[in-house]
């Protein structure tokens, strides 16, 4: 008998009710959420967004109860360290977070430079922005960037050109009131604020090569969650990547084409990256 191809196996696991029976599920499963544009936002008190819908579908497929708590992004990881939350979505991988939890990727992300039109010049790289402009960059506390971006941010800090805010809502409100000139954000984040703050005509969005495409995903706590539970969650979540569910969920918020672009090649690269994650 031939073994099933890995992608097909993940699709079957994601849909299987047996997964729910095998999981030693905590009750409740406490998810931390924070302001991440169309990935995570609050609407009339309800936690919404693509990343949170991914967690809701994961909970439905595994039969696990799931509740949300809302925090500023930087505080979210402090709450994680204290054990008050045990899962979160739409997170980039870092060594500090790996010490707290197990990472399972399900989407890709890439930061772009959102720049007020009143700032002269167009910049092909973040390095050019550093060297050929005196504009200040607003960054959100608790956000992880690619190493190439961090290197340029260090140069900006040395010049006194970095301002730190608690969330993306604050960064884009400052841009709307012309108290900020630039920020870094992925499409799934800035798309919400360019519309809600009527910024479309007042800013440009410029790709920067220093911001390489990164994996983003869910972190499942090491506290109170067994390796067997991690495996069930990972198999189900990667199955949602393989069967197109993650792309469809994101597509509801950013359009079908953009949703597919966030899960390129039907998720094959995302799934292939997971076995190398301890």
Q: Helix crossing, 245-254 with 227-242: angle to 10°? A: 60
Backbone angles phi, psi at 34, to 5 degrees: -150, 175
Mean pLDDT, rounded, for 93-105: 94
pLDDT of 207 strictly over 60: yes
> Which CATH number do you get for residue 67?
3.40.190.10
Mean pLDDT, rounded, for 116-133: 94
Q: How confident is the model at residue 228 (pLDDT cuts 50, 70, 90)?
A: confident
Q: Does residue 1 lie within any of the structural domains?
A: no
Q: How confident is the model at residue 278 (pLDDT cuts 50, 70, 90)?
A: low
pLDDT of 116 strictly over 50: yes
Mean pLDDT, rounded, for 209-225: 93
Q: What is the CA radius of gyration of the chain?
A: 19
Note the pTM of the prediction, 2 decimals.
0.89
Q: What percent of the chain has pLDDT over 90?
A: 76
The pLDDT, as a whole number, for residue 24 is 52
Tell me if 252 sits within 8 A of 50, measured CB to CB.
yes
Residues 102 and 222 reside in one and the same domain: yes
- Of 185, 207, 229, the domain-final residue: 207
Q: Does residue 86 lie within any of the structural domains?
A: yes
Residues 93 and 217 reside in one and the same domain: yes
Q: Which tens digit of pLDDT belongs to each residue from 2-14?
A: 333 454 445 545 4
Task: Please give the tally of structural domains in the chain.
Answer: 2
More confident residue, 43 or 21: 43
Backbone angles phi, psi at 146, to 5 degrees: -65, 155
Q: Does residue 122 lie within any of the structural domains?
A: yes
More confident residue, 198 or 88: 88
Domain residues for the domain of 13 are 6-109+213-276
The pLDDT, as a whole number, for residue 19 is 45
Residues 200 and 174 reside in one and the same domain: yes
- What is the distance between the alpha carbons of residues 151 and 203, in angstroms, rounded to a whole number? 24
């Amino acid at each position: 008998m031939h073994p099933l191809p890995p992608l097909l196996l993940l699709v079957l696991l994601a849909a299987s009710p047996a997964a729910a029976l095998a999981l030693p599920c905590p009750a409740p499963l406490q998810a931390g959420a924070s302001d991440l544009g169309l990935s995570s936002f609050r609407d009339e008190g309800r936690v919404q967004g693509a990343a949170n819908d991914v967690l809701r579908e994961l909970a439905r497929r595994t039969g696990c109860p799931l509740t949300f708590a809302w925090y500023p992004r930087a505080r979210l990881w402090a709450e994680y360290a204290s054990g008050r939350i045990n899962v979160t979505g739409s997170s980039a991988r870092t060594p500090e977070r790996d010490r707290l939890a197990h990472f399972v990727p399900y989407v890709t992300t890439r930061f772009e430079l959102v720049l007020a039109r009143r700032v002269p010049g167009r910049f092909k790289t973040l390095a050019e922005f550093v060297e050929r402009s005196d504009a200040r960059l607003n960054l959100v506390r608790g956000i992880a960037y690619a190493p190439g971006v961090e290197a340029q941010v260090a140069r900006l800090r040395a010049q006194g050109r970095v301002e730190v805010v608690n969330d993306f809502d604050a960064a884009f409100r400052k841009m709307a009131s012309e108290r900020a000139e630039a920020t870094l954000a992925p499409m799934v984040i800035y798309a919400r604020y360019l519309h809600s703050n009527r910024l479309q005509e007042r800013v440009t969005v410029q790709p920067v090569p220093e911001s390489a495409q990164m994996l983003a995903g869910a972190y499942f706590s090491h506290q109170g969650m067994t390796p067997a539970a991690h495996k069930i969650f990972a198999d189900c979540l990667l199955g949602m990547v393989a069967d197109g569910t993650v792309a469809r969920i994101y597509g509801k918020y950013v359009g079908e084409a953009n949703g597919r672009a966030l899960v390129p090649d039907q998720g094959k690269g995302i799934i292939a990256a997971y076995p190398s994650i301890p």
